[in-house]
Amino acid sequence: MVESQDEAHVYHAIFIARILLLVPYTILVYEYLLTLSMEVAGFWSRSATGRTRAATFGTVAFFLNRYIPLFGTIPILVQYFSTTTDPRKQPTCHAFTLYHQYFALLSQVLTAVMLIMRTYALYERNKLVLGFMAFVTLATFVFAVSIFLTGNNANTLSPELAAFGCPIATSRPKAIRLAEAWSGLLVFDTTIFGLTLYKALALNWGARARRVRGSELVQVLLRDGSVYFALLIVSNACNIATYVMTGPFLRGSATTVTNVTSSIMISRLMFNLRARSAASSSSDREQMTRDSSGSAVQRSTRTGGPALTTVAPYAYYPYREEEEEDAYEEAFGARTIS
């Protein structure tokens, strides 16, 4: 069955696709500017001591997750805001489309790596859990590759739609293959969410039985994970829906929404961990000072007290680099890159 659309519907679909691209990217830029001071305080060099924070796998992953979506989306903006019906521009438009697909893949791989590290930390570096997540990841990758290699490549677009320049229309058989590939990622996200939920319930039941509070670091990981994974699953589900429920120019139009959601959620998780570390270090030093002056106070520990519910300004927690315990490296067991 040949797919066709009149000119009015084509440009209306392109307009909606532009909105679904521009709005999340605007949110991403706003989020970057909003949290830049937190990034400087938590991840950049310290001007007070002149020393540079050692590069770790976790820190490198953070910067990749932070900046690749920020700058990597710009060519996609060019693609969608350079609408043309000139057939001579088709090679360039196909190059943009290919870039978009690889960029989306890279963004999701970065997110998957960060989520695996985080879940591995929650389960206290349990090798069985790591092996299970690695198996799910490998199965998802093999499934996606097999879909692309063995799927239906029939072109069901009318000559007018097939000859359109930027953005390029997506035929229904190709859209179904892409939806199936993204569904594998949805399975991965659901698996990570299930592991997080199980750990949260287990720790909650254990803490109630002992009538104690769990680790604040674990509380931050669990609290953020519950909200963030829910948002990731919803965004992925909506992206899959665009492939199977919309027209040729709207299929996959929510991919940028998914990439931006992933980037922001992972960045917020890491900011919260750094804020938790700074707050704990400041509290510990205050207690040490009061103890040395003879005050009868009980020294605080990292396993007591309520978890943070917001990302507080780093200026509120004055700490020194040589005294700070990096919460992210503590959680994920990151090693210095030599």
Please name the residue ranges forming H helices in 151-254: 159-162, 172-210, 216-245
C-alpha 69/C-alpha 239 separation (Å) is 17
Question: 35 and 204 in contact (C-beta within 8 Å)?
Answer: no
User: Structural domain boundaries of the chain?
Assistant: 7-45+56-277
pTM of the model as a whole: 0.74
177 DSSP assignment: H
Give, for all 338 residues of the chain, the pLDDT tens digit: 667 777 788 888 889 999 999 999 999 999 999 999 888 887 886 544 555 666 778 788 889 999 999 999 999 998 888 877 676 777 888 888 889 888 988 888 888 888 888 888 888 889 999 999 999 999 988 888 788 777 666 667 777 776 676 777 888 888 888 898 889 888 888 898 888 888 877 776 765 666 555 555 556 666 666 677 788 888 899 999 999 998 888 888 899 999 999 899 888 888 877 766 555 444 454 554 455 444 444 433 433 333 333 333 333 333 333 333 444 444 444 444 44
Q: Does domain 7-45+56-277 have CATH number 1.10.3470?
A: no
Cα 142 to Cα 71, 82, 107, 150, 176, distances in angstroms: 29, 35, 18, 12, 17
